[in-house]
Amino acid sequence: MTTVLITGASGGIGLALARRYATDGCDLILVSRSRERLAVAASELSRVHVDTIVADLATAEGPEVVAAAVQRTGVAVGILVNNAGAGLQGPFVTTSLDRELELVRLNVGALLHLTKRLLPGMRARGRGHVVNIASVAAFLPGPYQSVYYASKAFVLSFSEALAEELRGTGIGVTAVCPGPTATGFHAAAGVRRARPFRPRSFMTAEAVAEATVRGVRRNRRIVVPALTHRLLVLAIRLAPRRLVAWGSGVASEPAT
């Protein structure tokens, strides 16, 4: 039986992935900083074996709390889903340095730390998969969300490089790059755009989870769940970078 560890699992895409993997009969290790929300998720998913780990991955010690807890249980993690993430909007010159450093610790540091700690076990067993939740933002610069976009560019580049390193080992690496998704992420990040996205254009977390599971089964290195976003990525790759940055800034300009 495959055990799936999911960070940021108490809501949004993380919880949708937990539900999706539970339907396949996978055991789960759910990680979140919210003890109460984790308990609710574990109760809902009681048809499979669920362990929970309370940890704040935006702190320096958070990722090691998770790694140590997994080591104590002796559970072999077959699929690691690095989903936990945060965003921040505003002109870089005025945004909080503390919040930006926290964002980098969560979006980049925790993902790197957990992959480093859990990958050797997969390598020893000759099988496993690392799933890193990135974003369409990984493909372009993001004025007014510069640190968030840059963090997702790291996730994409790291995932592609690691996938190539692990080619032929039985271990896959997939970077999932959804566009705007109907979760609480944008509200938590304080995103208020002058030209807001239409809510009906958002994907559901369930659709992203389904595309993720399908991509992992096919050992895809990059999964962009929506056709419209795949076309956007193609356009971004063909367009001049300065034009891409300008367009991204127009789309991301904060509301005043």
Q: Which residues are annotated as catalytic? A: 148
User: From CA 226, how far away is CA 158, in angstroms rounded?
Assistant: 22
pLDDT along the chain (256 residues), means of 10: 95 97 97 96 94 96 97 95 96 96 98 98 97 96 96 98 98 96 57 54 90 97 91 87 88 79
pLDDT the model gives residue 189: 47
CB 244, CB 198: distance < 8 Å: no
Domain 3-252: assigned CATH number: 3.40.50.720
pLDDT the model gives residue 186: 47
pLDDT the model gives residue 203: 87
pLDDT the model gives residue 248: 87
**Buried-exposed string 135-150: b where 16+ CB fall within 10 A, e elsewhere:** bbbbbbbbbbbbbbbb
Q: What pTM was estimated for this model as a whole?
A: 0.89
User: From CA 250, how far away is CA 194, in angstroms rounded?
Assistant: 9
Q: In what order do the strands lie in the sheet with 171-176?
A: 50-54, 27-32, 3-7, 77-82, 128-133, 171-176, 222-223
pLDDT the model gives residue 239: 84
Q: What does the domain layout of the chain look like in residue ranges?
A: 3-252
